Structure 1
Amino acid sequence: MVTGEKKEFHKKNEIHRLKIDGYSYDGAGIARLDGMAVFVAGALSGETCDVQLLKVGKSASWGRVVRFIEQSPGRVASDCPHYPKCGGCQTRHMSYAEELEFKRQRVEDALRRIGGAEIRVPVIFGANNTECYRNKAQFPVGREGSIGFYRARSHDVIDVPDCRLQSEPAHRLRAALKGWMEEYKIPAYDEENHKGLIRHLFVRTNRTGQSLCCIVANGDELPHAHALIDALQGGEPGLVGIILSVNKRITNVILGDTFRTIWGQDFLEDTLCGLTFRLSTPSFFQVNREQTEVLYQTALEFAELTGAETVLDLYCGVGTITLVMAKKALRAIGAEVVPEAVEDARDNAVRNGVHNAEFICADAGQAAKVLSGHGIRPDVICVDPPRKGLAADVIDTICAMAPKRLVYVSCDPATLARDIKLFGLQGYVPTKAVAVDLFPRTHHVETVVLMSRVEK
């Protein structure tokens, strides 16, 4: 039944005609039913739909579209046969213009609602290429030998031979691994009973088309390893190395703690912002090369460097942002807690002939002590933390160093907004913010915010 009357309580399977007036963080449409939020997967803002309630909670409900009454001009037919069953993409039913506006609004809403910051996000830098842009693929291997991606909100693996976001080398290596497993009856890992061998296929591809392949296994050895090497080499002519990562833990973490080269080299070189970086399997490197250059160039512009500043880059990884900042700074210092990443960063500085960059193995608190001990106070601090954002004590440490400007690069609008609110309590206010789409056809988005210290 289609109802319009006001009701105090609603039940599962009821059907209501609803107007979608916004989006949730993951791109689901949001409507209101007697003041209660209803999340409707696959619905677009501005659409009117008959919605069946699938789950009714105390403060929110979830539903599905049973009929469109009025569709948005931003709706398009999905161009992927695996969508939406595969959980890798969330926005293939949107035009790219609609997706960009959803992401821009998501960032602006988070900054205002969670961060209490009345700042506009006037622009989102969209990608010129929304297909095959990923330079890293991580394919889970299912119990029945399927290799692809997880079904949305589950660990069921959908067999995906032709993901529209991945590179052709990744597709070919996936097919070669699958063929080897089928021919030699190699068991896939079963996370329910912790048996089986092959857990994930990890592929990294560089700008010239070379690739590095890592097999993640629940065991120390691979049977028929020579046949696997032949299959992977034969399947992908640009392959430069094959790595075995041993992961015997009961965990959702993909890579293990140990890596062994079983053929070729254990690294891949790639270029970014005119710089060359050597990357091992566990190295952090943004997955969209072209959009990362836009992201880092924006961060560099926000830093407002004149050549006289000392810049501290926290969470520097292999030194990408540090070396970009060093181009226009007097001195650039990168801090990172992973020793191997620090060594890679130092090697990358040497490789690129950058002499005004240095790297220390330290967290934010330790970095502050090191700099203070040498009488160094950074003029600009840049942070690019993981999705969970900054810990409160890290924010305290940054503010204690009293930089003139703080550039925050974020992959999660909610934790960014939370941290901006905490910085505001210590005298730093956001003055500029832009969004950058590094992940087309998904709900993920990057943001760069400039914060400046307000003198009391």
Structure 2
Amino acid sequence: MDRMMEHTIQTLTVDAYSSDGAGVARLDGAAVFVAGGLRGETCRVYLDKVGRTAVWGHVVEVLTPSPNRLTPDCPYDAQCGGCRFRHMTYAEELSAKRQRVEDALRRIGGLDLSVEEILGAAHPERYRNKAQFPVCPGPRIGFYQAGTHTVTDVADCLLQSEAAARLRTAAKEWMTAFRIPAYQEKSGKGLVRHVYVRTNRRGQSLFCLLVNGTSVPHEEELVQALRRAEPGLIGVVLGVNEKRSNVILGDSYRTLWGNDFLDDTLCGLTFRLSVPSFYQVNPEQTEILYGKAAEFAALTGTETVLDLYCGIGTIGLTMAGKARSIIGAEVVPEAIRDAQANAQRNGITNARFLCGDAGEAARRLAQEGLRPDVVCVDPPRKGLREDVVETVASMAPQRIVYVSCDPATLARDLARFAQCGYSTQKAVAVDMFPRTAHVETVVLLSKGEIDSKKVRVEFSLEDMDMSGFQNDATYGQIKERVLQQTGLKVSSLYIAQVKQKYGIIERENYNKPKSENAKQPKCPPEKEAAITEALKFFGMI
């Protein structure tokens, strides 16, 4: 691709979508990722960045608009970047997401399998039951602009509850009135880092202020301001986070008023949620997702179900009534404690939970002679490690139900299961996060011999979510990501310094100075922030 074309305007026709919702066009045989482009449109496109294998640009004029084009209904759409599909109809969004899953299964997994359907949301707005607003000097309380740590001040978000908006505004007014300083990432100074709001289906709210300290001035005034703003508020919590990192939640919590937890119902069960508890953010779609997982599990009451990456036990506990026994495994001790408490709270006696890495837990159970009839896995975006796939297959379950939040790593893992003798029977997509680029998929696998030579793997940049191959992110890929998102050029030395800071092991002597006394330039803060974002994008931290 001719780099001389960078910063020029080209007339292009969009014919597909990328994994993050951008339109995809072709120019001299190269894929062009067009921000704001819709399938079927001819647009004038400004080329922001010309890479070795792909081009990134944005629409400056639509020449032939799609009938699916909408004017974004959010005033922050262009600044925030959290919603990737507000410029198109919801039907077109669902079609794009379904196609994304099918393309990943075919191109990455080598599977000739159609996605049976995509289950859309009856309510694609105001569905989130958890809001996390970063805070910066101003104060500005809102969301990071895409690919940056610049906070856009957002008075309301159409994906969040109205209660979250009211509490966010009350917190901002309190900070302004009493001159409470916001946290500054670069210096590590300041106090308020994040505003956190969790809501339930009964209209109750739990508020948490995450701070760089153990207390805040005018705590009583904060509580009163929040209570006046939101009648459904049942608790105010202070979270302590004094780490120089991008982690949101704290290490300890102190209740300023009311409860430090919230109860919510899901699939007929009651779950108690503290501030750090993991819980799906869209309860209506979660019930649809779990219902499809239970359908694929085809339980009759005689089965033993192994639930890996069980979190606080939601999937396993919702299946417990139709199974002989449930065994959940999760690496986070607090989540296991929550799972055990949730089982007791709901009177479920046929479930037990183990604390440990998924692969380790599966191996331990296999050594105990456990032969589950059904294994359910719901891993993070990075998917399953290869040894976990092999261990699960060695337990020879009749069925495997794979719940995935990333089509690329799902497809990779299905190809690995195929090598172990498991064939993919069905796939259904579920739109858990309307208007964003994310999509969930539920897949049923069953034991059956398959000719591994017929598994074809083909890679295509526009159909892949590169975060699925996080461990293979090269220095070149990291540099391109940083340049694309921030316009900054970073050296391999700077990348190595940031990786070392986060404990990512480097090859011995990599990027070390030739002389013992040689001085190395230190990575500037703005470049460190950009590299950190890229490492997060590729799932390396």
* TM superposition score category, shorter chain reference: over 0.9
Find out whether 1:49 has 2:47 as its counterpart.
no
Which of the residues 68, 72, 77 maps onto 2:71?
77
Offset of residue 416 of structure 1: 1.1
Q: Is the 8 A contact 1:8 1:34 kept in 2?
A: no
Deviations 1:405-431 (A, max 9, x none): 110101111111111121111111211
1:195 aligns with 189
Q: What is the DSSP-based 3-state SS (H/G/I as helix, E as strand, rest coil) of the residue aligned with 1:327?
A: helix
C-alpha contact (below 8 Å) 1:213/1:242 kept by paired residues: yes
Q: Any conservation in 1 of the 2:116–2:426 contact (CA below 8 Å)?
A: no
Q: Relative to 1, partners in 2 of residues 1:237 and 1:8: Cα closer, same or farther, differing over 3 Å? A: closer
The CA deviation at 1:372 is: 3.8
Report if aligned partners of 2:363, 2:391 keep a CA contact under 8 Å in 1: no
Preserved CA contact (<8 Å) 2:311 2:335:
yes
- 2:57 pairs, out of 53, 60, 63, with 63
Contact 1:108–1:119, Cα closer than 8 Å, also in 2: yes
**Correspondence for 1:95 among 89, 93, 100:** 89
The alignment status of 1:165 with 2:159, answered yes or no, reads: yes
Q: Is 1:26–2:17 an aligned residue pair?
A: no
The structure with more helix, counted as a fraction of residues: 2
The question of 1:453 aligning with 2:447 is answered: yes
Q: Say whether 1:403 aligns with 2:372.
A: no
1:284, distance to aligned residue in structure 2 (A): 0.8
Distance 1:401 1:32 in 2: 46
% identical aligned pairs: 62
1:354 aligned onto 2:337: no
Deviation at 1:305, TM superposition (A): 1.1
| 1:334 equivalenced with 2:334 (yes/no) | no
> Are 2:278 and 1:284 aligned?
yes
**Which residue of the partner structure matches residue 135 of structure 2?**
141
Write out aligned runs for 1:249-288 (5 A): 249-288=243-282
Change over 3 Å in CA distance of 1:8–1:349 after alignment to 2: closer
Asked if 1:130 is matched to 2:118, the reply is no
Q: Deviations over 1:188-224 (max 9, x none)?
A: 1111111111110111100101111111111111111
Residue in 2 that maps onto 1:247? 241
User: Normalising to structure 1: TM-score of the pair?
Assistant: 0.96
- Cα deviation, 1:5-61, whole Å, max 9, x if unaligned, reads xx9664222222111011111111110001011111000011111112121112111
In the TM superposition, residue 88 of structure 1 has moved relative to its aligned partner by 1.7
C-alpha contact 1:364 1:397 (8 A) present in aligned 2: no
| Partner of residue 434, structure 1 | 428
Residues 317 and 345 of structure 1 are in contact (CA less than 8 Å); yes or no, is this contact kept in structure 2?
Answer: yes
Pair 35,241 (structure 1): closer, same or farther in 2 beyond 3 Å: same
Q: 1:51 to 1:376 in 2, by over 3 A?
A: same
For the 8 Å contact 2:422–2:449, the answer to whether it is kept is no
CA distance in 1, matches of 2:27, 2:367: 59
Tell whether the 8 Å contact from 1:110 to 1:414 is kept in structure 2 after alignment: yes
Distance (Å, rounded) in 2 between the aligned partners of 1:446 and 1:79 = 25
Alignment partners' CA distance in 2, 1:8 and 1:438: 40
- More deviation in 428-437 or 357-366? 357-366
Structure 1 residue aligned with 2:456:
none
Structure 1 ranges of 4+ moved more than 4 A: 7-10
Cα drift, residue 362 of structure 1? 2.2
Report the residue type matching 1:405 in the other structure.
Answer: R
Question: Which TM-score applies when normalising by structure 2?
Answer: 0.81
Q: Deviations over 1:283-315 (max 9, x none)?
A: 111000000000000000011111111000011
Offset at residue 66 of structure 1 (A): 2.2
Name the aligned partner's letter for residue 340 of structure 1.
Answer: E
Q: Are 2:418 and 1:424 aligned?
A: yes
Question: Is 1:237 aligned with 2:231?
Answer: yes
Question: May I ask how many residue pairs the two structures share in their alignment?
Answer: 450
- The alpha carbon displacement at 1:364 in A equals 2.3
Choose which of 11, 23, 41 in structure 1 pairs with 2:5: 11
Distance verdict in 2 for CA 1:186–1:429, change over 3 Å: same
Aligned residue in 1 for 2:309: 315
Instruction: Tell me the amino acid that sits aligned with residue 220 of structure 2.
Output: H
**Counterparts of 2:51 and 2:361, CA distance in 1:** 46
Partner Cα distance (2:248, 2:223) in 1: 21
Q: For the Cα contact (< 8 Å) 1:53–1:63, is it kept in 2?
A: yes
The 1-side partners of 2:7 and 2:361 are apart by 56
Alignment pair present for 1:183 and 2:173: no
Q: What secondary structure, in the 3-state scheme, does the structure 1 residue paired with 2:140 have?
A: coil
| Contact 2:32-2:54 at 8 Å conserved across structures | yes
Structure 2 residue ranges without an equivalent (≥5):
451-541
In the other structure, the counterpart of 2:478 is none
| Alignment deviations for residues 246-280 of structure 1 (CA, whole Å, 9 cap, x no partner) | 11112111112222222211111000001100111
- Correspondence for 2:98: 104
* Inter-partner Cα distance in structure 1 for 2:171 and 2:233: 13
| Deviation string, structure 1 residues 118-147 (Cα, Å, up to 9, x no partner) | 111121000000111100001111222111
Q: What letter is aligned with 2:445? A: M
Instruction: Describe how 1:380-391 pairs up with structure 2 within 5 A.
Output: 380-391=374-385
Rounded Cα–Cα distance in structure 2 between residues aligned with 1:233 and 1:65:
45
Between 143-152 and 100-109, report the one with greater CA deviation.
143-152
Question: 1:207 maps to what in 2?
Answer: 201
Which of 354, 362, 373 in structure 2 is aligned with 1:368?
Answer: 362
Aligned residues of 2:277 and 2:335 also touching (Cα < 8 A)? yes
State the Cα RMSD in Å. Answer: 1.4
CA distance in structure 2 between the partners assigned to 1:415 and 1:165 by the alignment: 26
